[in-house]
Structure 1
Amino acid sequence: MIFEEKPIEVEILLNPAFCGEVFRRCISEYQKYTNSAFPVSIIYLVLALVLHKFTRESILKNRRKQMHVWLQENQEVLINLPNRIKSLVSISNETLIFLLHTNSICINEEGNINLNKYRKKTKGFKNSEISDCFSAAEIIGRWFARVGDETTIYAMLGVKP
């Protein structure tokens, strides 16, 4: 079985289309700043940072800061982060499969993620929490791009790959 059985609430709220848009926005910003593919190993960090309300709100309040400065000033966001990442691995995997199946992304020879062209929709979202998730994902994409090295990103977050 590819997909793990989850409570219906989790399936509805964390569906692959929504999580895929979170990933897509993060990857897009990363690629905009680096002109390179997104390291697949750090995709697993994205949902744990974006979906956790306290962390997301902290990211949005500190969008102009560098990632290391934000982490130094907000060390409480690291509490339980490894467990959040671990609990979201299956959802991240399902989302990656969905994005590959819909031809939204491709994996290059080095095993990194490239976005395929897509038709951009201009409509905004009435739900501010959804908009906040997408904005936080974009900020994370820029932060990851500025840090550059995936090993450093993991070290900054206090997580082992």
Structure 2
Amino acid sequence: MQNNEVSELLNPAFCALLYSSIVDGYNSKALKKIPLYLPYILIPIILHKESRLVLPKTAASKFHLWLQNEPQIVVGLTERVNGLEPYISKSSLLLRGQGIIDLDEDFRVSLIDNKKINKMIKNAEYISEYTFAAKKLGVICGRFNCESTMLALLGIKL
């Protein structure tokens, strides 16, 4: 990717749309709200073209079976997570500052203003590939409902 393209993709507004799409998908299926750290792990998967392209066809797919069939997802993931952390942090601050997300006492994220996000996504068709993938990955992870196992399968240590 060229530097200009990287800076465009990693701007806080774009990352905020991915972040909120992941939160929306995850929270629609999980027993608990999404933990604060999980979008930091999932956004690098969405931004990595080779990973995004091998997402399951449907959100009904099983997380562990998907990773078993696509083991290359975890290759380099830790480095991508570490490299993207500042950008994702800025997007999280943007979402909190705009009153779109909130944190509870357990550092779990809730989406407060879904209408605002959906309007932005609808008005920016060129990002639909990313936001659709982000929401689908959120749903898949939300259905898995075992965060520690998910981290282990992804090779991530907190």
SS at match of 1:58: coil
1:86-116 per-position Cα deviation (integer Å, ceiling 9, x unaligned): 1111111111111111111011111111111
Paired letter, 1:123: K
Runs of 4+ in 1 over 6 A off after TM superposition: none
Sequence identity (%) = 27
After TM superposition, the structure 1 stretch with the greater mean CA deviation from structure 2, 54-63 or 102-111, is 54-63
Q: What is the TM-score when the length of structure 2 is the normalising length?
A: 0.87
Match of 1:37 in 2: 33
Matched, 1:77 2:76: no
> CA, structure 1 residues 64+111, in 2 after alignment: closer, same or farther (shift >3 Å)?
closer
Paired letter, 1:13: L
How many residues matched?
153
In structure 1, list runs of 5 or more residues that go unmatched.
1-6
- The answer to whether the 8 Å contact 1:60/1:132 transfers is no
Question: For 2:36 and 2:150, how far apart are their aligned partners in 1?
Answer: 13
Match of 2:154 in 1: 157
In structure 2, list runs of 5 or more residues that go unmatched.
none
Could you tell me how far 1:32 is from its partner in structure 2?
Answer: 1.1
Match of 2:145 in 1: 148
Please provide the CA RMSD for this pair.
2.0
Could you tell me how far 1:52 is from its partner in structure 2?
Answer: 0.2
Q: What is the TM-score when the length of structure 1 is the normalising length?
A: 0.85
